[in-house]
Amino acid sequence: MNTFKWLLASTALCATPAMAEMLDLEKDELKFGFIKLTDMAPLAVAYEQGYFEEEGLFVTLEAQANWKVLLDGVIDGQLDGAHMLAGQPIAATIGYGTQAHIITPFSMDLNGNAITVSNDIWEQMKPNVPLMDDGRPQHPISAAALAPVIESYRDRGEPFNMGMVFPVSTHNYEIRYWLAAGGLEPGYYSPDDVSGQIGAEVYLSVTPPPQMPSTMEAGTIFGYSVGEPWNQQAVFKGIGVPVITDYDMWKNNPEKVFGITAEFAEENPNTTIALTKALIRAAIWLDENDNANREEAVEILSRSEYVGADAEVIANSMTGSFEFEKGDVRPAPDFNTFFRHNATYPFYSDAIWYLTQMRRWGQIAEPQTDEWFVETAKDVYRPDIYLEAARLLVDEGMADEADFPWDSDGFKAPTPAEDIIDGIAYDGRAPNAYLESLPIGLKGTQTIVGNQIQD
């Protein structure tokens, strides 16, 4: 045992109850990857508040160039774990794009994304957007307001291009959901065409999150779906207008996860529990006392080694509000949610929603049974690890018993229709029935053959 670990272990012998109990770690030097987004906050906080060290972990945090580089780093062992798009562990485990068994013992947050359009597109949309009594736009704004704009581009023979961050990202599925809810076709994938643009009225392409504002400013894309602070950055730069947040699209929707390989978890079970404990503590800190620590979190995230955006930009969404048009600031207390509403628990029903969207748009090319959806979710999301870490935190006086869903079967209660923009409820226990209820998208035995949907 090295000197530092010996000192920590010795101290633990005479510690008060509110001190982490050291596990017998299989590996104590770890490197974790992240993308420069606000929702990497639990990693930064666990590091800066000393939660990793209190678990005996010596962690290096390293920003990654893009989501593919990050995933490859975890798969090949250059990274021990990472802040991931929720779709990445799922897609890798089922072999979409790459093949690797990735698991998540920890969900990093709820909400946190938005869809932004350029100033020019917003001016064209505005006549189609209902107004409130004070003259401001009525939110949430439906993609139906964008439909006449897209039609004018089509009439001129011009493609309508928008950006998202990765083919299996929440942002891809959210912008597709928003477009489809407004009656627009966002395009399909097939085994022969992975562009996602088969039959599309809006052409979606990949742009790394920090490059979204500049890519839109250059006119390459007319809008995008991304996490913070890159929507608020467009407002601050005066180049775009967020038209809808994902909270307004689906109240308290799941977002990022922390991903590790199944092999890492099997070989390092105590280390896995220890890192999960540290991340849970960070999430608690981020949300406790009605977000009292958010200003400090903003200062941390604004540092160049983390997100590196202006603190004012990050604070715009992290501290309980969201700015749409310049000066149109609205309350958004749950825009970034890290712990409350069981945000950190890896629910099977969240994984199943991602799988339904992959099936809906053709990334899962063939029909699957409800049982397949459930078993796949259980292969990736690991609430058993999460609850083991939570139990230790409660026993150590670091967390409250009442804050964890001990008796959950892994499924959230169905999301009611009024909490989703298209008015269609979601029940993770019935994925195929849910797909059948969506007017646009693959369902039943449908597949994509060539550029056509075939029953």
How far apart CA 332 and CA 318 sit, in angstroms, is 9
204 has which bridge partners? 162
Instruction: State the DSSP code for 165.
Output: S
- Mean predicted lDDT score pLDDT of the chain: 95
Task: For the chain, give the number of residues.
Answer: 455
1 pLDDT above the threshold of 60: no
Which helix (DSSP H) or strand (DSSP E) does residue 241 occupy?
Answer: strand 240-245
Q: Which pLDDT score, from 0 to 100, does residue 384 have?
A: 98
Percent of the chain with pLDDT strictly greater than 70: 95
How far apart CA 375 and CA 353 sit, in angstroms, is 13
Closest CA to 328 of 144, 45, 49, 136: 136
Sheet holding 203-206, edge to edge: 203-206, 161-164, 223-227, 113-118, 240-245
How far apart CA 23 and CA 10 sit, in angstroms, is 13
Structure tokens at 446: 């449908």
Coil vs helix vs strand at 345: coil
Residue 428 and residue 352 in contact, taking contact as beta carbons nearer than 8 Å: yes
Closest CA to 116 of 187, 201, 178: 178
Helices (H) and strands (E) in the chain, counts: 19, 18
**What backbone torsions phi and psi does residue 258 show, to the nearest 5 degrees?**
-100, 125
How far apart CA 51 and CA 263 sit, in angstroms, is 24
Q: Which residues neighbour 108 within 8 Å (Cβ) at sequence distance 6 or greater?
A: 39, 40, 42, 83, 255, 256, 257, 258, 279, 283, 338, 344
pTM for the full predicted model: 0.94
**What backbone torsions phi and psi does residue 137 show, to the nearest 5 degrees?**
-60, 145
Q: Please report, for residues 389, 401, 410, the alpha-carbon distance to residue 15 in angstroms, rounded to integers and kept in the order given.
A: 19, 21, 35
Q: Which pLDDT score, from 0 to 100, does residue 224 have?
A: 98
Average pLDDT over residues 135-143: 97
Q: Are strands 81-84 and 110-111 parallel, antiparallel or unpaired?
A: unpaired
Average pLDDT over residues 387-403: 98
124 pLDDT above the threshold of 70: yes
Q: Which residues neighbour 448 within 8 Å (Cβ) at sequence distance 6 or greater?
A: 188, 189, 190, 193, 198, 362, 365, 442, 454
Q: Which pLDDT score, from 0 to 100, does residue 22 have?
A: 85
Evaluate the CA torsion angle 108, 106, 71, 254 in order and state its sign: negative
| Domain definitions of the chain by residue range | 3-110+254-403, 113-253+447-454
Percent of the chain with pLDDT strictly greater than 90: 94
Instruction: Give pLDDT tens digits for 254-310.
Output: 999 999 999 999 999 999 999 999 999 999 999 999 999 999 999 999 999 999 999
Instruction: State the DSSP code for 164.
Output: E
- CATH no. for 113-253+447-454: 3.40.190.10
347 pLDDT above the threshold of 80: yes
What is the separation of C-alpha 284 from the centre of its chain, rounded to a whole number of angstroms? 18
**What backbone torsions phi and psi does residue 354 show, to the nearest 5 degrees?**
-60, -40
Structure tokens at 139: 């939110």
349 pLDDT above the threshold of 80: yes
259 has which bridge partners? 82
How far apart CA 50 and CA 48 sit, in angstroms, is 5
Class (C level, CATH) for 3-110+254-403: alpha beta
Q: Which pLDDT score, from 0 to 100, does residue 298 have?
A: 98
H helical segments located in 58-164: 67-75, 87-94, 119-125, 147-155
Which helix (DSSP H) or strand (DSSP E) does residue 431 occupy?
Answer: helix 431-437
Closest CA to 231 of 38, 34, 33: 38
Extended strands (E) in 147-192: 161-164, 188-190
Let me know if 292 is exposed, middle or buried by CB neighbors in 10 A (0-12, 13-18, 19+).
Answer: exposed
434 pLDDT above the threshold of 50: yes
Q: Which pLDDT score, from 0 to 100, does residue 18 have?
A: 53
Residue 90 and residue 375 in contact, taking contact as beta carbons nearer than 8 Å: no
